[in-house]
Structure 1
Amino acid sequence: MERKITFNELRKIKDSLPDGSIRKIAEEFDLTEETVRNYFGGANYTSGAAVGIHMEPGPNGGIVLLDDIAILERAKELIHEEVV
């Protein structure tokens, strides 16, 4: 399932993740940590892979189209678990 989100919203979610969440997500999805960072707007394609995000210029850092929202949903769960 794909979803549109602003780049700034995506970065806010990444910045709100509890410590160790990038590693946890990487392990759960069998990805490298750099690949997970690339999902959240990083650009290290030497150590990480592309992950199906497409960026378009626009307000709030532009619009990001995510091909698969599983990582995004897991990140939101981890943030919620930290708050609760």
Structure 2
Amino acid sequence: MIQIQNYQQATARFYNSRLRQRRFSVGQLVLRKVFSNTKERNAGILGTRWEGPYQITEIVRPGIYKLEKYIKGVPELRPWNVMNLKKY
């Protein structure tokens, strides 16, 4: 059991050392990931994978952001996790 725990800790340490943190600030432009319920119908594999641009209006807590459409200024209903966002 101790050997398994040591192996798991070493693997986690190696994985976490190569992770790159993504942080955004208020006012920055980002793209949002497209999910299956918001996909364009019959687009197939040629459909868009990211939509936007969106502007970050508030940092709820580290890694969670509130967005609004950049051009129209319409706020999104819920906050978004950093895993579903990327830099514009």
Scaled by the length of structure 1, the TM-score of the pair is: 0.25
- Greater percentage in strand: 2
Q: Which has the larger radius of gyration?
A: 2
Scaled by the length of structure 2, the TM-score of the pair is: 0.25
Higher relative contact order (CA 8 A, sep 6+): 1
